[in-house]
Amino acid sequence: MPETTVPATQPLIHARALTKCFGSFTAVNGIDFDVAPGEAFGFLGPNGAGKTSTMRMIGTVSPVTSGELTVFGLDPAQHGARIRARLGVVPQADTLDSELSVLENLLIFGRYFDLSWAESRRRATELLEFVQLTERAGDKVEPLSGGMKRRLVIARSLINEPSLLLLDEPTTGLDPQARHLVWDRLYRLKQRGVTLCLTTHYMDEAEQLCDRLVVMDQARIVAEGSPRQLIDKYVTREVLELRFRRNDDETDDSAHLDGRLEGLAERIEQLPDRVLVYTADGEAAAATAYERGLRPASVLVRRSSLEDVFLRLTGRSLVD
Amino acid sequence: MTVIGLRLARPGAIASRRSLRVLEHDLLVFRRGWYSYVLSGMSQPFLYLVAMGIGLGLYVNRNGSLPGGVPYLDYIAPALLVTQAMMAAAFESAWPIMGKIHWDKTYHAALNTPLGALDLLAGDLMWVAFRATLLSVLFLAVIVVLGAAASPLVVFAVPIAVLTALAFAAPIMAFTATQTGDGGFNALFRFGITPLFLFSGTFFPIEKLPLWLQPLAWITPLYHGVAAARSLSIGQVDPVGLSIHVAALAAVALLGLWAARITFRRRLVV
């Protein structure tokens, strides 16, 4: 059996009309996507959009209900074990073994992948170094911080030297410092040529890590492109955020805009706590708004983000 | 029944080489705390053996009313050997499996490797067999030291105990894979395991049970395990009876395996 089953030009993951149903509930509704070797590909969407179900199908642990899916050119239904042998998986929950030490968690995973104990130990030692956990090798897993556990799970997913790494919300629940450490390690893996496929509901994570992504909402893909392309296509360069003082009657002044923002922007989005004005020049729009007599409590001009793309596409924010 | 069990369970189909990795995992955990496994498994049956076999035995022996005139210690020793294997198997198939499926979800982590759901099942059944063997051998040593076995055939009580352990482990694992909390286990132990421990001919012959209860004892695996081990230990082996006991145990184990294959898949492959 040749090691490389996919020619370089063929996608590592190929999905057409991919669907997953649980009883009468449709978790993934006929999505199409391809992931090329060496790419960092993301699924961006809110909780319940179908990201995890998609990842579990790619990981061959959840049977495809209908549609087409190949991973490394292989059919998950036929060759699950062969596909998994070449995959690294970082699941949403850490699923570490609390009865084993940090090092043993890696060792036994190496054994699951049929490595010899010696080889497993060699790789485990190297990986603990890579995720900066060498000092904790002999410790139990439970006292580790959330960030450390996450890094250990990433180390565990690399024990079989996978060519494709699946990461389901790799930094959810981590503090900013821990997130940056995880991102840095994932970036290094990407530089080594590991294909990354990840889900996230953080737009900054998608922007940091993904070459290309799809936006998922309610079991479907609603947009696809690089972070920059999506922003260019769906939103303006800048966003002016206006916050208004809350009145006694629980309305705020934004309810009385009376069209005073008219013609100021390509698009205006009224959120419960603020008004978003999409425009090429935020400073100019702010000045005009002021001239027209608006007196917001705070004014912020920022670059637009994937969050805005998502809002534009679905009318809802990503993290609610 | 055995034939049907064999066909349905197709034991060959689950004995993938990969399941040995799961056993390795369990042995790795065992290596860290082997003493607790041994102590927790042995202390209770040992206390029963001393308190009832030697203490209570003084009174029982005075009447000399046990079948074959066996001393009470000799009567309950092989039964306790089998019972401790059953207890350990029942425990191992309940809470720890629940942890792997539901609480820690380490099964889910393992499923991301080439291992499959049935490898996990087979591997953890092998672990139960290992633990039952270890406890039984240690208990056998105690029996020999106390001179509580009349026949050298008592060594075959060990495989009987292991088979009994599997006859409990497989169906209980099947049950565990259908649960989402440990509430069911309390009921299982209170209304299942404990009554079996007391009324399966462990401490007194089932002929002393009310007539309507006796058929119930025949269909419980512990009764067959105890009867088989006892006949070997006291050296009064009836080949036909022994074969029936072994066949009954194997049938329950295979039926349990068949059920567990279904519930494990249903739970872990979604």
Residue A181 sits in the same domain as residue A243: no
- pLDDT for B13 equals 52
A91 touches chain B (CB under 8 A): yes
Task: Evaluate whether B93 touches B193 at the Cβ level (below 8 Å).
Answer: no
Judged against a pLDDT cut of 70, whether residue B232 lies above it is answered with yes
Q: Is there a domain that residue A317 lies in?
A: no
Task: Say whether both A142 and A109 belong to one domain.
Answer: yes
Same domain, A43 and A171: yes
Largest distance between two CA atoms of chain B:
62
Select from B143, B135, B137 the least CA-distant residue to B76.
B143
Q: Which residue of A has its CA nearest to B101?
A: A95
Same domain flag for A221 and A245: no
Complex ipTM: 0.90
Cβ contact (<8 Å) for A112 and B113?
A: yes
Cβ–Cβ < 8 Å for A189, A165: yes
pLDDT for residue B96 is more than 50: yes
A98 part of contact set with chain B, CB < 8 Å: yes
What SS3 class is residue A66?
A: strand
Q: Of A203, A226, A249, which residue is a domain's last?
A: A226
Q: How confident is the model at residue A35 (pLDDT cuts 50, 70, 90)?
A: very high
Do the domain assignments include residue A51? yes
Q: Supply the CATH number for residue A64's domain.
A: 3.40.50.300
Same domain for A109 and A147? Answer: yes
The pLDDT, as a whole number, for residue A251 is: 58
Backbone angles phi, psi at B234, to 5 degrees: -90, 0
- The sign of the CA dihedral A116, A187, A103, B113 is negative
Instruction: Answer yes or no: do A58 and A202 share one domain.
Output: yes
CATH number at residue A277: 3.30.70
**Which pair of tokens denotes residue B113?**
């490797």
Domain end point (choices A174, A202, A226): A226
Cβ of B112 and A91 within 8 Å? yes
Distance separating alpha carbons of residues A107 and B136, to the nearest angstrom: 30
CA distances from A267 to A124, A203, A262, A314 (A): 53, 21, 9, 15
pTM value is: 0.90
- Flag if A84 and B106 touch (Cβ within 8 Å): no
Q: Confidence band (pLDDT; 50, 70, 90) for A248?
A: low
Mean pLDDT of B177-185: 95
What letters, b where the CB count within 10 A reaches 16 and e where it falls short, cover A36-70? ebbbbbbbbbbeebbbbbbbbbbbbbbebeebebb
Cα A158 from Cα A58, distance rounded (Å) = 17
Q: Is residue A157 part of a domain?
A: yes
pLDDT of the residue at B9: 43
- Residue A103: both structure tokens together: 């090092």
Provide the pLDDT confidence category of residue B253 given band limits of 50, 70 and 90.
Answer: very high
> Which residues are CB-neighbours of A176 under 8 A, at least 6 positions away?
none
Co-location of A295 and A253 in the same domain = yes
A96 lies in the same domain as A245: no
The pLDDT value recorded for residue B184 is 95
Domain co-membership, A43 together with A151:
yes
Alpha helix (H) residue ranges in B177-200: 183-188, 194-199
Q: Any chain A CB within 8 A of the CB of B113?
A: yes
| Banded model confidence at residue B8, pLDDT cuts 50, 70, 90 | very low
Q: Please state, for a pLDDT cut of 90, what percent of chain B lies above it.
A: 69
pLDDT of residue A247: 66
Per-residue pLDDT tens for A264-286? Answer: 788 888 887 788 999 989 999 99
From the list B77, B87, B88, the residue with the least C-alpha distance to B202 is B77
SS3 content of chain A, % helix, strand, coil (to 5): 35, 25, 40
- CB B92, CB B132: distance < 8 Å: no
- Report, as an integer, the average pLDDT of A217-221: 95
Q: How deeply is A232 buried, as exposed, middle or buried, from its count of CB atoms within 10 A (0-12, 13-18, 19+)?
A: middle
Q: How far is B268 from chain A (nearest CA, A)?
A: 8
Q: Does residue A288 sit within a domain?
A: yes
Measure Cα distances from A187 to A38, A192, B206 in Å: 12, 9, 69
Is residue A169 scored above 50 in pLDDT?
yes
Average pLDDT over residues A227-252: 82
Confidence of residue B62 (pLDDT cuts 50, 70, 90): confident
Average of per-residue pLDDT values in chain B? 90
Domain ranges of chain B: 2-268
Domain span at A273: 236-303
Task: Tell me which chain A residues have a C-beta less than 8 angstroms from the C-beta of B116.
Answer: 80-81
User: Does residue A2 have a pLDDT over 70?
Assistant: no
How far is Cα A121 from Cα A138, in angstroms, rounded to an integer?
Answer: 13
A50 and A158 both lie in a single domain: yes
Q: What is the pLDDT of residue A253?
A: 57
- Asked if A161 and A31 sit in the same domain, the reply is yes
B11, pLDDT greater than 50: no
Distance CA A64, CA A76 (A): 8
* Rounded-to-integer distance, Cα B241 and Cα B232, Å: 11
Q: What is the pLDDT of residues A84-142, one digit of tens each?
A: 999 999 999 999 999 999 999 999 999 999 999 999 999 999 999 999 999 999 999 99
Shared domain check, A114 and A74: yes
Query: Quick check: is A111 in a domain?
Result: yes
Tell me, what's the pLDDT at A207? 86
Nearest CA in chain B to A160: B113
A318: in domain: no
Total domain count, chain A: 2
